[in-house]
Chains A and B, each alone.
Chain A
Amino acid sequence: MAVTERTTGTPQPIGFRQSPWGRVGTVLRWIALFIAVVLFLLPFYLILRNALSTEADITAPTWTLFPKDLQWGNIPELFNDTQVPMARAMYNSAVVGVLGTAGQLLLASMAGYGLARIPYRHADKIFYAIVATLMIPGAVTFIPSFIVVSSLGWVSSLRGLIIPTLFSGFAAFLFRQYFLGFPRELEEAARVDGAGHFGVFWRIVVPNSLPFFAALAAITFIGNWNSFLWPLVIGQDSSSWTIQVALSTFITAQTINIHELFMAVAVSILPLVLIFAFLQRYLIQGVTQSGIKD
């Protein structure tokens, strides 16, 4: 880090060269980073601390950094509590997360491929009709969507939770842009060998686009798992609550034990922490793709 090292003239990644103030600046930056890390990790620590505490430990008049002793029994207690449909809610969230993600990617990738690669006179108009839906802010359509879904009789059902969310104009748009840039040579080779659109798509395009699919899948799954407004609107019966709706219901309820609630939170974020651990690279790709091109 010494100033003398800089004689080679290699540019700094961002463009802050060290001035005479450099050392002080470096120290200040590390302090800022350290404080930020503590602040960002604190809520995770609080989840773990409270999830493994007794009720008395959480509500003690003086707050302590560590609970008196760890209560692993809180895990079975949570799942055995008959008032709390936690297992059911986890199951619903898993089904919504997996089927919703798979369905959305399948539909959007096929639509994106058709728009990008299959010549059709009115393809432009169809594309504009899809892009136009991006103009309408997602969250304000919950009332109209509720009206349609309730007249289909899908309130409080997994169908009602999943099917209306499958048609993401934004995902179709991203896939179209991606397939426009997909190398044509690969497809042509397969076509000469006699493959049709379907064969080319399934055997050439999809297998060669797996990183892109993984990126969008990670983003979509997290979005589905964490989504709240739509499941709240549709899940009017506790059998169709997702984990988010269940947690929300217990925040305002008076009878729930706080330690159980925090254990439920810990359990609910576990799948996502695993996704983060294993798919971080794809996840970041997905964020940059879906963020910038919006």
Chain B
Amino acid sequence: MSAPAKTSADPAVAGEQRGTRRRRQKGIAGNTLWFWVFVGPFVLGLLIFSYLPILWSLVLSFFEAYNTATPSKFVGLQNYVDMLTDRNFLSSLGTFTIFAVFIVPLTFVLSLALALLVNQVKVARAFFRSVFFLPTACSYVVASLIWKLSIFNGVRFGLANTVLGWFGIENIAWLSTVDPPWYWLPLVTVRLWLQLGFYMILFIAGLQRISPTLYEAAYVDGAKPGWQVFRYITLPQLRATSVAVLILNLIAAYQAFDEFYNLVGNVNYARPPLVYLYGISLGSIQDLGHGSAGALILAVIIMLVTLLQNRIFGFGKAGD
């Protein structure tokens, strides 16, 4: 905006004045044009691949739509009622809740512990950071494969069973025993292995932003090194990071799909919502009406949980 105005400002000729206004107007129109050149392609894509799908899905959720993406018969709220009374859908939400109860606190505590450990090391710090961060390079598919075919293989040559065998414990069929539910151990550990490094990096960044003078002040005031300093200096200073870690982690847990799909498949005992929705909308009967309704219910739940969490933890303060 300032460019045309600036160049025309110095010659004080009367004829030039009119030219300035014209140029300025052209400048504004030019700005509008250039704004859309820069932002337009992105916004167009967002309309087609984000807004349109959601609207279409909303429409479809009020219709019967088997094997077709075109609404066939209007059913009102019936799809929603069906989904909210569907035992399988409700139990998938239960599966998620159990999963979150395991994964969120464990990830929080362990990634913070790793960050503290790595930050304290004086030699080869980069090496340790890299080792813990490296699993981020693996996909859930790859990790599931190692977990299912090697570590938690239910037969004799599975690594976990080999180790248990040293203590005289019988083979455990990890991923197919429903009672007791041993499948949680592979499901939780695979995610821990994959994501701890990521959250550790966030915590390390947070730790490095804490001013050393705070610790000095604490020692001068007689705070005991160790737990006291951690409790009253480190932890409060990590507030923004902690909130980010909790929220990111919970949302990621809600969207669990890859490891459940690959480790246990579409089974009714350990099936998170996305695996169930994938099954109904893209399985043998492509029931896109119910699928859309379920997806929207899930989206609303996630948004509510996020907002609630923001409220409780004061995410507004996380910026500073």
Residues of A in contact with B (beta carbons under 8 Å apart): 9, 11-19, 21, 25, 29, 32-33, 36-37, 39-41, 43-44, 46-47, 50, 58-63, 107-108, 110-111, 113-115, 118-121, 123, 126, 129-130, 133, 135-148, 150-151, 163-164, 166-167, 169, 172, 188, 191-192, 196-198, 201, 222, 225-229, 232-233, 244, 247-248, 251-252, 258, 261-262, 265, 268-269, 272-273, 275-276, 280, 283-284, 287-288, 291-292, 294
- A144-B131 in contact (CB<8A): no
Complex Cα–Cα for A238 and B197 (A): 33
Q: How far is the CB of A70 from chain B (nearest CB, A)?
A: 17
- B202-A139 in contact (CB<8A): no
22 A-B pairs whose Cβ atoms sit less than 8 Å apart in the complex: A15-B225, A16-B229, A19-B226, A36-B114, A40-B193, A40-B197, A61-B156, A110-B41, A114-B39, A139-B274, A140-B277, A140-B302, A147-B60, A163-B45, A167-B50, A228-B261, A247-B145, A251-B145, A284-B133, A287-B198, A292-B240, A294-B247
- Beyond A113-B38, A115-B39, A197-B34, whether A61 also contacts B157 by CB under 8 A is yes
Please provide the 10 A-B residue pairs with the shortest distance between their CB atoms, ordered closest to farther: A114-B38, A144-B53, A17-B225, A226-B139, A144-B57, A111-B42, A139-B255, A167-B45, A272-B137, A120-B35
Cβ-based interface call for B298 (8 A): yes
Cβ-based interface call for B177 (8 A): no
- A133-B46 in contact (CB<8A): yes
- A123-B35 in contact (CB<8A): yes
- A40-B119 in contact (CB<8A): no
Chain B residues contacting A25 (CB-CB under 8 Å) are 226
Which chain A residue shows the least CB distance to B28? A119
Contact of B254 among A33, A62, A137, A188 (CB under 8 A): A137
Residues of B in contact with A (beta carbons under 8 Å apart): 1-3, 6-7, 28, 31-32, 34-35, 37-39, 41-43, 45-46, 48-54, 56-57, 60, 69, 113-114, 116-121, 128-151, 156-159, 162, 193, 197-199, 201-202, 205-207, 210, 212-216, 218-219, 224-226, 229-230, 233-234, 240-241, 244, 247-248, 251, 254-255, 257-258, 261-262, 265, 274, 277-278, 281-282, 288, 291-292, 295-296, 298-299, 302-303, 306
Contact of A292 among B145, B241, B255 (CB under 8 A): B241
Contact of B202 among A15, A169, A272, A292 (CB under 8 A): A292
- B138-A226 in contact (CB<8A): yes
- Beyond A147-B56, A251-B144, whether A228 also contacts B34 by CB under 8 A is no
Q: How far is the CB of A201 from chain B (nearest CB, A)?
A: 8
Complex Cα–Cα for A292 and B237 (A): 14
Contact of B258 among A225, A228, A258, A292 (CB under 8 A): A228
- B202-A261 in contact (CB<8A): no
Complex Cα–Cα for A133 and B57 (A): 15
Number of A-B contacts (CB under 8 A): 319
- Beyond A248-B262, A269-B137, whether A148 also contacts B234 by CB under 8 A is no
Q: Say what secondary structure dominates the interface of chain B.
A: helix
Chain A residues contacting B3 (CB-CB under 8 Å) are 188, 191-192
- B198-A226 in contact (CB<8A): no
Which chain B residue shows the least CB distance to A38? B131
Chain B residues contacting A262 (CB-CB under 8 Å) are 145, 149-150
Contact of B132 among A16, A36, A120 (CB under 8 A): A36
Complex Cα–Cα for A173 and B128 (A): 32
Chain B residues contacting A269 (CB-CB under 8 Å) are 137-138, 142
Complex Cα–Cα for A226 and B141 (A): 8
Chain B residues contacting A59 (CB-CB under 8 Å) are 157
- A13-B119 in contact (CB<8A): yes
- B202-A151 in contact (CB<8A): no
Chain B residues contacting A150 (CB-CB under 8 Å) are 69
- A167-B46 in contact (CB<8A): yes
Chain B residues contacting A164 (CB-CB under 8 Å) are 49
- A141-B230 in contact (CB<8A): no
- B41-A16 in contact (CB<8A): no
Chain A residues contacting B298 (CB-CB under 8 Å) are 137, 140
- B34-A14 in contact (CB<8A): no
- Beyond A137-B299, A169-B46, whether A261 also contacts B145 by CB under 8 A is yes
